[in-house]
Amino acid sequence: MWSFIQEEILGMKWLNELVGRALSSLGFDVGSRLGGSLQFFIYDVIKITILLCLLIFTVSYIQSYFPPERNRKILSRFDGISANIIAALLGTVTPFCSCSSIPLFMGFTSAGLPVGVTFSFLISSPMVDLGSLILLMSIFGSKVAIIYVILGLVIAVIGGSLIEWLGMEKYIEDFVKNAQMPLLEAKTLSYKERIDFAKEQVIDTLKKVFPYILVGVGIGAVIHNWIPEEWVTTILGNHNPFGVILVTLIGIPMYSDIFGTIPVAEALLNKGAQLGTVLAFMMAVTTLSLPSLIMLKRAIKPQLLVIFIAICSIGIILVGYLFNIVQQFIF
C-alpha cells in the first residue's frame, strides 16, 4: 500500500508514462537524448507544480493558525533547550525559502526572544519545512525523508544553542535590538479566511518559485540525459571522499528553494552520485544561499554571520557524510 502511495501518488509514475506515450505519438523517440530530456522536463515540471500547489495550500492553511504574533507568544513561554526545539519545530510551518524567513527572524529578535532561539528558527525554516518532507518522500522514499528532517531539526537546535552559549547576542545590529515590535493580538480567522489565505499563498509562492522550478528541472534534464554517468560518479560518487564538501561549497552561492533543487538532486542520484552528497547540496542551497546571507548581514554583524555560516556548513557536511555511510541500509 505504501509503495503505491510513494510511486503512483507522490512519485506520479503514471504521469511519466503518460508524458512518454504523448511524446511518442508526436514522433519523438523517448529513448533518445532529446526525447528523454523532453520527457524528464515535462514530467518533472508538471509533477513538482502539482505537489507544490497542494503542499503550499496545506501548509499555508496550517500556518494560518501560527501567525508571527502567536509564534512569539509560544516561544516566550519556553527557555533553554526546550525553546530551541519549539523554535525549530515552528520553522517547519513557515515560509519555504531562507529570504522569506529573515524578516520573521528579525521580528522575533526585536521582540526580545533569545538570539539562540531565533537562530534555531532561522536554520530550520528553509531547511526542513513540511513541504520538503513530502517532496523528499516522493523522490527518495519515507526513510530518507524522515531522517533528513530529523537531522535538519537537530542542526537547528544545536546551532541555535551553540550561538546562545557563545554569547553572540552582542553581534545583533542595534537597529534590530532596539526596534519596538508591539505584541499584537493574533486575529482569529474564519474558515473562509483561512482558505482564502491559503489560496493567496499558493499564487504568490508559485509566482516566486516557478522560474526556479523551470531552471532546476532543465538542469536535471541535462544531467539525466546528456552528462556521462562516469563524470558524476568520479566527482560525486564514493571514489571522491571530498564530494560532500565540494557540493556544499558549490551550493552556498546559489539561490533556490527545495522545489528547484529536488530535480537536480534526483538527476545526480540517478547518475551515480551518493545520497548524502546530493542531500548536502540541497541543504546548502536552501539554507545558505548568497542572497539570504546578504539580507542577513544587514541584521547581524560579521562575527555572528561567520559563526552562523560555519555552524550550518559543518552540520550540513556531517549530515552528508552520515547519509553516505548509511545509504546502503536505508535506500
Total tally of structural domains belonging to the chain:
1
Task: Tell me which of 285 and 181 has the higher pLDDT.
Answer: 285
Considering the domain boundaries, does residue 22 fall inside one?
no
Considering the domain boundaries, does residue 25 fall inside one?
no
Considering the domain boundaries, does residue 208 fall inside one?
yes
Residue 308 scores a pLDDT above 90 = yes
Which burial class, exposed, middle or buried, applies to 74 when counting CB atoms under 10 A from its CB (0-12, 13-18, 19+)? middle
Residue 48 scores a pLDDT above 70 = yes
Of 98-102, 172-176, 216-220, 260-264, which range is least confident?
A: 98-102
Considering the domain boundaries, does residue 307 fall inside one?
yes
Residue 326 scores a pLDDT above 80 = yes
Considering the domain boundaries, does residue 233 fall inside one?
yes
**227-262 burial, b for 16+ CB within 10 Å, e for fewer?**
eeeeebbebbbeebeebbbebbeebbebbbbbbbbb
Task: Tell me which of 209 and 7 has the higher pLDDT.
Answer: 209
Considering the domain boundaries, does residue 145 fall inside one?
yes
Q: Please report, for residues 120, 223, 228, the alpha-carbon distance to residue 29 in angstroms, rounded to integers and kept in the order given.
A: 49, 18, 19
Domain that holds residue 65: 2-16+33-182+189-330
Q: What is the mean pLDDT of residues 212-233?
A: 85
Model pTM? 0.82
**Residue-level pLDDT at 92:** 81
**Residue-level pLDDT at 51:** 84
Q: What is the mean pLDDT of residues 207-225?
A: 86
pLDDT tens profile 73-96: 788 888 889 999 998 988 887 655
Considering the domain boundaries, does residue 23 fall inside one?
no
Task: Tell me which of 320 and 286 has the higher pLDDT.
Answer: 320
Which cell numbers hold the place of 76?
Answer: 516566550
Considering the domain boundaries, does residue 26 fall inside one?
no
Residue 15 scores a pLDDT above 70 = yes
- CB–CB of 115/109 below 8 Å? yes
How many residues make up the chain in this entry? 331
Q: Please report, for residues 44, 69, 202, 212, the alpha-carbon distance to residue 138 in angstroms, rounded to integers and kept in the order given.
A: 11, 33, 20, 19
Of 23-27, 41-45, 237-241, which range is least confident?
A: 237-241
